[in-house]
Amino acid sequence: MIRSSFSLTVLLLLAAPVLGASPRATAEHPVAVAALSAGPVAPGQVLPGQVSPGQVVAPQAPRRLQLRTELTLLRDIVSFGDLITGVGADAAATPAFRAPMLGETGTIQVARIVEAALGAGIIRTASELESHGSAQVVVTRAARRISASDIEEAVRIGLQERYGVDARAFALSIDGGAPVIAVEPELTGDVTVTDLAYDARARRLQARVSVPGSMAMRLKPVRIGGQLVETIEVVVPKRAIARGETLGKADVVVERRPRDGQANDLLGDPRAAIDKVARRVLMAGAPLRAGDVQREEIVAKGDLVTIVYETRGLIITLRGRAGEAGAMGDVVSVTNPQSKRVLQGTVSGPGRISVQASAAGRVAAAQ
């Protein structure tokens, strides 16, 4: 019992300096704290975070700033924050270059960016900037593009409101083609025309194109001149159609085309083309003519067919040979090969020709 008490006393005395260590002593001796937590340390063992004798620790390389190689801007100034990631707030807001015009794309050589960053104090040496091997940075200025159809719709509205002209049946032919117009991307308002002048006899007009709120169009006004051209609705294939192929609803679309120079037999109703068979190769976008399509023939000339005569309480069927090809609903001639008599009937199904009741006597005689 004495030995046990003595051993316990010695252990408590040995542990007292560590347990009672001040916060400063603990901070100054992290290895001692780690040893107390981890248990006994084997001779020669290196603890985590401890440098072994004779080991040389290399200084950590400073983190390099990253150069963006491509960017899209909403404003007319390129700042250092746009070009370089990781710079401070003040440096990021510092202007560096002018951006391209609205809707345009330009490039900035990396050497110029390094030179500007050194001059502005953003970096101290060129080695601080990582360019990923790129020689230039591509900068695009975001914009909203105004299309020819946008201008045409604005002209139609202007003519209706100011001159009472219904221009829906007309297309606008702009002198020299539609101008290239780009405005601020945040502007979503409709295109309008101002200073509109219209000559009803010649169907010519002059106007100024604008978008509400656009500073770009205020600084650089866009004026157009043009002619109203009468148009008609035509059916055009949306894709190339092979000969013998049946056209579906998804294969055609109705468009307005200038009337002048068009054929007189153009299809204007899509129902005249849907479920019809192409008689030749049809090109995408080329207006369809009446002779370009036909109904699908389900009876071919020379086919053996079934002639059907049906009246109240009586059905007569006999074999015959079609004298001509026909689609569903076509009236074709059919011959009884035995009697050589020729009948007129309506194609009512594949290989089937129905004869009207008025031809009953002829049907009986044909037997």
Q: What is the pLDDT of residues 108-149, one digit of tens each?
A: 999 999 999 999 999 999 999 999 899 999 999 999 999 999
pLDDT higher than threshold 50 for residue 58: yes
Q: Is the dihedral of CA 136, 142, 143, 144 positive or negative?
A: positive
* Domains of the chain and CATH, by start: 65-142 (2.60.480), 146-231 (no CATH), 233-295 (3.90.1210.10), 298-366 (2.30.30.760)
Q: Residue 33's pLDDT is what?
A: 27
**What's the pTM value of the predicted model, to 2 decimals?**
0.57
Q: Residue 200 carries which side chain, given as an amino acid letter?
A: A
Distances (CA, A) of 338 to 148, 187, 269, 344, 366: 68, 81, 45, 17, 9
- Amino acid identity of residue 59, one-letter, is P
Answer whether 170's CB lies under 8 Å from 230's CB.
yes
Convert the pLDDT of each residue in 335-365 to its tens digit. Answer: 987 788 888 999 988 899 998 766 545 544 4
Of 252, 286, 258, 282, the closest CA to residue 270 belongs to 252
Give the integer Cα–Cα distance in Å for 183 and 202. 32
- Mean pLDDT, to the nearest integer, of 9-15? 34
Cα–Cα nearest to 263, from 280, 240, 287: 287
The answer to whether residues 100 and 85 touch, using CB atoms and an 8 Å cutoff, is no
Average pLDDT, the chain: 82
The tokens describing 9, both together, are 């006393």
pLDDT at position 253 over 80: yes
CA 269 to chain centre: 29
Contact (CB, 8 A) for 243 and 278: yes
pLDDT at 224 over 50: yes
